[in-house]
Amino acid sequence: MSTALIPQILNSSILIVEDNEINRLFLEKALRAGGFNQLLSVASAEEALEKMNDFKPELIILDIMLPGMNGFECCETIRRQESYNDLPILIQTSMTEPELRVKAFAKGATDFVSKPVYPDELRARVMVHLEKRHSLKALQIYKARIETELEHARQLQQAILPSLEDITGIERQCQLDIDSYFHPSSEIGGDFWGMKNLFPHQAALWMVDFSGHGVAAALNAFRLQAHLKEYTTMAARPGEYLSHLNDKLLHLLLRGQFATMFYGIIDTQSNQLFYACACAPHPIILRSASGKAEQLDGSGVPLGIGLHLYYTQGIPFSPGDLLLLYSDAFIETPDANGTYISEKNIMALLEEHAGATAGTIRKKLLDYFCHHTGDALRDDLTLAICVRQKSRPL
Give per-residue pLDDT as tens, 266-276: 999 999 999 99
User: Same domain for 66 and 133?
Assistant: yes
CB atoms within 10 A of CB 81: 12
pLDDT above 50 for 89: yes
* Residue 379's pLDDT band (cuts 50, 70, 90): low
pLDDT above 80 for 374: no
Give the domain extent around 111: 3-150
Indicate the number of domains in the chain: 2
In a domain, 70, yes or no: yes
Dihedral sign, Cα of residue 71, residue 74, residue 76, residue 78:
negative
Q: What is the value of pTM for the model shown?
A: 0.70
**CB-based burial of residue 8 (10 Å sphere; 0-12 exposed, 13-18 middle, 19+ buried)?**
middle
In a domain, 351, yes or no: yes
Q: Is 46 helix (H, G, I), strand (E, B) or coil?
A: helix
Segment 124-141 shows an average pLDDT of: 90
Give the end of a domain, one of 130, 150, 170: 150
User: Same domain for 93 and 212?
Assistant: no
In a domain, 302, yes or no: yes
pLDDT above 90 for 356: yes
**Per-residue pLDDT at 144:** 86
Q: What is the CATH number of the domain that holds 31?
A: 3.40.50.2300
Give the end of a domain, one of 150, 182, 208: 150
Give the end of a domain, one of 150, 172, 198: 150
Beta-strand relationship, 38-42 and 89-93: unpaired
In a domain, 394, yes or no: no
pLDDT in tens, 140-156: 888 888 888 777 777 77
Report the chain's mean pLDDT, rounded to a whole number: 90
For residue 193, CA distances in Å to 107, 162, 209, 296, 381 come to: 55, 8, 9, 18, 11
User: Same domain for 288 and 353?
Assistant: yes
User: Same domain for 48 and 66?
Assistant: yes
User: Same domain for 198 and 251?
Assistant: yes
Q: How far apart are CA 72 and CA 99, in angstroms?
A: 13
Q: How far apart are CA 331 and CA 317, in angstroms?
A: 25
In a domain, 40, yes or no: yes
What distance, in Å, lies between the first and last C-alpha atoms of the chain?
74
For residue 176, CA distances in Å to 141, 260, 349, 366, 391 come to: 48, 25, 21, 21, 10
**CB-based burial of residue 252 (10 Å sphere; 0-12 exposed, 13-18 middle, 19+ buried)?**
middle
Segment 71-94 shows an average pLDDT of: 91
User: Same domain for 65 and 193?
Assistant: no
pLDDT above 60 for 35: yes
**Per-residue pLDDT at 336:** 86
Burial 319-333 (b: 16+ CB within 10 A, else e): ebbbbbbbbbbbbeb
The percentage of residues in the chain with a pLDDT greater than 90, rounded to a whole number, is 64
pLDDT in tens, 283-294: 999 999 999 999
- The interaxial angle of helices 119-159 and 21-33, nearest 10 deg, is 60
User: Same domain for 172 and 289?
Assistant: yes
Segment 159-167 shows an average pLDDT of: 89
**Per-residue pLDDT at 393:** 45
User: Same domain for 134 and 201?
Assistant: no
pLDDT higher for 117 or 393? 117
Q: How far apart are CA 207 and CA 281, in angstroms?
A: 10
pLDDT above 70 for 359: yes
**Per-residue pLDDT at 168:** 94
Q: How far apart are CA 248 and CA 208, in angstroms?
A: 15
User: Same domain for 230 and 358?
Assistant: yes
Whether the CB-CB separation of 331 and 151 falls below 8 Å is answered with no
Nearest to 188 by CA among 146, 229, 143: 146
User: Same domain for 165 and 140?
Assistant: no
**Per-residue pLDDT at 369:** 93
pLDDT in tens, 295-344: 999 999 999 998 889 999 999 999 999 999 999 989 998 988 899 999 99
In a domain, 95, yes or no: yes
**CB-based burial of residue 139 (10 Å sphere; 0-12 exposed, 13-18 middle, 19+ buried)?**
exposed
Whether the CB-CB separation of 39 and 65 falls below 8 Å is answered with no
Beta-strand relationship, 59-63 and 89-93: parallel
Segment 61-71 shows an average pLDDT of: 92
In a domain, 155, yes or no: no
pLDDT higher for 215 or 118? 118
Q: What is the CATH number of the domain that holds 312?
A: 3.60.40.10
User: Same domain for 86 and 184?
Assistant: no
CB atoms within 10 A of CB 191: 29
User: Same domain for 361 and 287?
Assistant: yes
pLDDT in tens, 169-225: 999 999 999 999 998 766 666 789 999 998 889 999 999 999 876 778 888 888 899
The percentage of residues in the chain with a pLDDT greater than 70, rounded to a whole number, is 94
